[in-house]
Amino acid sequence: MSKHDSTRRSFLKRAAVGAGAVAGSGLVPDVYTQTLEQHKDAAAPSESHATSIQHGAFFNYEQGTTIAAFTERLMPGAPGKAGARDAGVLNYIDLALAGAYADLQDFYRRGLAELDAYCRTTYKQPFAQLEPARQDEVITTLEQGKAAGFSWPTAQEFFNVVRTHTMEGMFADPIYGGNRDFAGWRLVGFPGAQGNFTATDLQNKQTFTRAPMTGLQAQAGLQAQAKNPQRTE
């Protein structure tokens, strides 16, 4: 609990510099970070890495723990292979439910309650405390629509939406709070938004390495710098 509280406090502090900053802090190349540091009240950028369970915009502690565990089974991390936790999928979904997907708040609330009831009835434990193999068993019954006690959302609907949001959190631009340090893009070998591929690039039969990955905030920073060099120093 105390861990949660401190996470929440630092979350709120960071929120003072805007949702985008929460999403992007620590992620983007120098040009944007420099701009950020000019905000005297901004928290230290390193804080965003303080814990891997980031939430607080929508989920309560238990919900956050469950979603963190669930999404990690959908995209498990392994040495050298980023998973949902590494990519910050929980943070992505948490921020999305507080904003763009606010109309899905009840969907998640109820789906999580149904999942909790199902796990307590079947295994006498909440989802997050089950062994990974058991968790996979639960997810499989959800995916196949065989888990009892779900009405709305149905087990399959809940599975499908969480799966979709997990993929979004893995692969959306880091500005939305997931894909931390481009973990998802690195995992699959996507170079991110590149404004330009050359004729030589088009002939390449190897993986693309010519240019670095940049996120939307860095790109916006570069545009601002190009338009108005003295403002960003």
Partner 1 sequence: MATQKTDVVIVGVGAVGGILAAELGKAGMKVIGLERGPRLTTQDFSALDELRYFQRQELRPSSKRQPVTWRPDAKTNAKPLPILNYGNQAGGGTVHYGALSWRFHEDDFRARSHTIERYGASAIPADSSLTDWPLTYADLEPFYDQAEYELGVSGRAGNLQGRKTDAGNPFEAPRRREYPLPALLPDQSGVIFAAAGQKLGYHPFSSPRAILSQPYQGRAGCTYCGFCQSFGCHMAAKSSILVTKLPEADATGNFKLLTGTMCYRVNSDNSGRVTGVSYYAADGSDNTIEADLVILATFIYDNTRLLLLSKTAKFPNGLANSSGQLGKHLMAHIGARVFVAFDDRYVNIYMGPSAQKHSLDDFNADNFDHSGMKFVRGAQLSVTPADLEAGPIGASISMNPPPGIPRWGAAYRDFLAKYFARYAAFIAQTENLPYADQTVDLDPHVRDQYGMPAPRLTYDWRRPNEVARIEFLLNKLEELGRASGATHVWRSPTGSGAPGAHHEGGTRMGSDPKLSVVNRYGQSWDIPNLFVIGSSTFPTMSGFNPTLTIQALAYSSADAIVNRYKKSPGALV
Residues contributing to the site for partner 1 (CB under 8 A) = 73-76, 78, 81, 83, 100, 103, 136, 139, 143, 163-164, 166-168, 170-173, 176, 184-185, 187-191, 193-199, 201-208, 216, 219-220, 223
CB atoms within 10 A of CB 81: 12
Q: What is the spatial distance between Cα 83 and Cα 85, in angstroms, rounded to a whole number?
A: 6
Which residues are registered as beta bridge partners of 78? 81
Q: Smaller CB distance to partner 1: residue 6 or 140? A: 140
Q: Smaller CB distance to partner 1: residue 13 or 163? A: 163
DSSP secondary structure letters along 142-176: HHTT--TT--SS-HHHHHHHHHHHHHHHHHS-GGG
Tokens at 3, concatenated: 């861990």
For tokens 């938004």, what's the residue?
A: 193
Q: Smaller CB distance to partner 1: residue 60 or 198? A: 198
Please report how close the Cβ of residue 18 comes to partner 1 at its closest, in angstroms: 16
Q: What is the spatial distance between Cα 11 and Cα 226, in angstroms, rounded to a whole number?
A: 32
Please report how close the Cβ of residue 222 comes to partner 1 at its closest, in angstroms: 11
Please report how close the Cβ of residue 219 comes to partner 1 at its closest, in angstroms: 7
Are 87 and 68 contacting, i.e. CB atoms less than 8 angstroms apart? no
Q: Smaller CB distance to partner 1: residue 99 or 149? A: 99
Residue 65, amino acid: T
Tokens at 181, concatenated: 């340090």
Please report how close the Cβ of residue 74 comes to partner 1 at its closest, in angstroms: 4
Q: Smaller CB distance to partner 1: residue 42 or 222? A: 222
Please report how close the Cβ of residue 161 comes to partner 1 at its closest, in angstroms: 12
Are 53 and 84 contacting, i.e. CB atoms less than 8 angstroms apart? no
Q: Smaller CB distance to partner 1: residue 38 or 79? A: 79
Please report how close the Cβ of residue 6 comes to partner 1 at its closest, in angstroms: 30
